[in-house]
């Protein structure tokens, strides 16, 4: 629920009116669901970009086009995941300062985040455009689809400014408790994406690259809508020239959280790239099946991602307010919700998996269908562990700790690489599919014990009057 405030927060002679959602009061479970649902729907619609590309390409161009786009999934996860992790990390400090009522420092953090995002996107765009083909060759992209794949990714790379702008602006709004507005903007841009997919492919014959142009344009629209909404509705985020004065100290604190969060996503993505490279060896049929199953699983895991984002905001605000009792309550509530969602999705995949796969491919593609089923049988049973990763990783980040969540990603990478190296040759495609469950189990090894250690330590300090505020985290 978005709460409307008319508090007089005076800095000089300026009175700020703002629309936020304060998660430091009220029933934790209710607040979590109210925040999580719009966040989840927003993530689904963001996934919808690549999903729509895959559906339109698979239906109107063919299996090779689906394989070309599908083979980029892990690479897009690497690039977009890094940006998403980076911007989410920056927003942690925004949430903590908001929870502590330190609005001037909050705005300074937002301004420095803008500088850092611009710098990272510029470097990434140039580097990735240059390394486009070499990266795809390292991933064993088949010769028959590598040109289409490279063309698709070149457009995606060129549009990273739009992607970063949306993720950064949406992360700030969520840090202040507004998870609904980014959803509305994504719905609009998702509709635009579908329309442009159809227009560019069917009417203008632009092929796979047309899907990429549709995605970039749609993302730019969502970023613009976020910006205009913040300017009009969030007076508390009205930045002055003084806010943009360079502060290397603030940048350092932002990078200390943002880089580990970005690396966490990137390290995980590198592991998925290793798996994708192993799948690519088996040819277009297996690539298409793996891609179709992966698109469905992305929807499943999107709910887990939303729970994680909710945990980060909820824990960050309550940490800043010194309400560790509410942190305990919130994490327990999210854990129960994750277990319920996991059970439901295991049942859905078991009963309706084939129907879902048919969204992407015709029923006559029996070999592709079989490859998709094999993946689901290998991974679905591990959904509770996947959900728990997002909960405890993001809760730690909300507390201000970025290193150990990143180590969870390192454990994921090691597990994926080990499984691919050890069993892929002996068990073929089935062995490759087992890499995901192994990675999810491995990621929990460092982060769960560390979370309970840190939460216990912080609680003891605050009990004895040694409260640690957002100023020193």
- Structural contact between residues 49 and 193, judged by C-beta atoms closer than 8 angstroms: yes
The reported pLDDT for the residue numbered 139 is 73
Q: Is the pLDDT of residue 196 over 80?
A: yes
- Structural contact between residues 2 and 19, judged by C-beta atoms closer than 8 angstroms: yes
Mean pLDDT across the stretch 372-395? Answer: 89
- Give the DSSP H or E segment for 3: strand 3-4
The reported pLDDT for the residue numbered 425 is 59
Please, what sign has the CA dihedral across residues 298, 301, 302, 303?
positive
Residue of 205 and 162 predicted with greater confidence:
162
Q: Is the pLDDT of residue 9 over 60?
A: no
Q: What share of the chain is helix, strand, coil (3-state, %, to 5)?
A: 80, 0, 15
The reported pLDDT for the residue numbered 149 is 82
Work out the pLDDT band at 15, boundaries 50, 70, 90.
Answer: very low
Token pair belonging to 128: 């990735």
Angstrom distance (rounded) from CA 31 to CA 333: 11
Mean pLDDT across the stretch 168-192? Answer: 81
pLDDT digits (tens, 9 = 90+) for 285-316: 888 888 788 878 877 888 898 898 888 888 88
Residue of 458 and 11 predicted with greater confidence:
458
The reported pLDDT for the residue numbered 59 is 63
Mean pLDDT across the stretch 408-432? Answer: 79
Residues 6+ apart with CB under 8 A from 160: 79, 83, 121, 124, 125, 128
Exposure of 52 by Cβ count < 10 A (0-12 exposed, 13-18 middle, 19+ buried)?
Answer: buried
Q: Is the pLDDT of residue 471 over 70?
A: no
The domain locations on the chain are 3-463
The reported pLDDT for the residue numbered 389 is 92
The reported pLDDT for the residue numbered 12 is 36
pLDDT digits (tens, 9 = 90+) for 17-61: 444 566 767 788 888 888 888 778 777 766 666 666 666 666 666
């Amino acid at each position: 629920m978005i709460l409307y405030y008319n508090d007089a927060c005076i800095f000089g002679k300026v009175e700020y009116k703002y629309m936020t959602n304060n998660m430091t009061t009220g029933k934790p479970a209710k607040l979590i669901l109210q925040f999580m649902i719009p966040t989840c729907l927003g993530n689904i619609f963001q996934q919808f970009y690549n999903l729509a590309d895959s559906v339109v390409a698979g239906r109107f161009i063919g299996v090779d086009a689906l394989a070309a786009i599908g083979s980029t999934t892990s690479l897009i996860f690497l690039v977009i995941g890094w940006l998403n992790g980076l911007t989410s990390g920056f927003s942690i400090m925004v949430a903590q300062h908001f929870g502590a009522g330190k609005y001037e420092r909050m705005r300074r953090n937002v301004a420095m985040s803008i500088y850092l995002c611009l710098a990272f996107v510029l470097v990434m765009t140039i580097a990735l455009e240059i390394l486009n083909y070499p990266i795809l060759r390292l991933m064993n992209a088949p010769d028959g689809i590598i040109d289409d794949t490279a063309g698709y990714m070149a457009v995606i790379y060129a549009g990273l400014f739009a992607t970063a702008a949306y993720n950064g602006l949406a992360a700030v709004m969520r840090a202040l408790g507004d998870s609904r507005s980014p959803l509305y903007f994504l719905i609009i841009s998702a509709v635009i994406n579908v329309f442009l997919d159809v227009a560019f492919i069917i009417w203008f014959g632009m092929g796979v690259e047309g899907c990429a142009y549709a995605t970039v344009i749609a993302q730019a629209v969502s970023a613009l809508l976020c910006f205009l909404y913040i300017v009009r509705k969030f007076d508390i985020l009205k930045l002055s020239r003084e806010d943009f004065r360079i502060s290397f100290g603030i940048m350092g604190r932002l990078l200390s959280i943002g880089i580990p969060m970005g690396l966490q996503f990137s390290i995980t993505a590198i592991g998925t790239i290793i798996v994708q490279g192993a799948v690519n060896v088996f040819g277009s049929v297996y690539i298409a099946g793996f891609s179709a199953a992966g698109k469905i699983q992305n929807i499943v895991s999107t709910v887990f991602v939303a729970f994680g984002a909710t945990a980060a905001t909820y824990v960050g605000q309550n940490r800043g307010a010194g309400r560790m009792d509410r942190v305990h309550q919130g994490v327990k509530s999210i854990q129960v919700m994750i277990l319920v969602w996991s059970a439901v999705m295991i049942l859905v995949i078991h009963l309706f998996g084939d129907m879902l796969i048919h969204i992407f491919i015709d029923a006559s593609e029996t070999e592709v269908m079989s490859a998709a089923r094999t993946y689901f049988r290998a991974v679905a049973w591990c959904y509770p562990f996947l959900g728990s990763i997002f909960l405890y990783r993001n809760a730690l980040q909300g507390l201000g700790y970025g290193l150990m969540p990143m180590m969870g990603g390192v454990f994921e990478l090691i597990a994926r690489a080990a499984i691919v190296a050890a069993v892929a040759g002996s068990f073929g495609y089935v062995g490759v599919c087992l890499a995901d469950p192994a990675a999810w189990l491995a990621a929990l090894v460092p982060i769960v014990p560390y979370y309970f250690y840190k939460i216990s330590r912080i609680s003891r300090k605050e009990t004895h009057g040694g409260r640690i505020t957002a100023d020193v985290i």
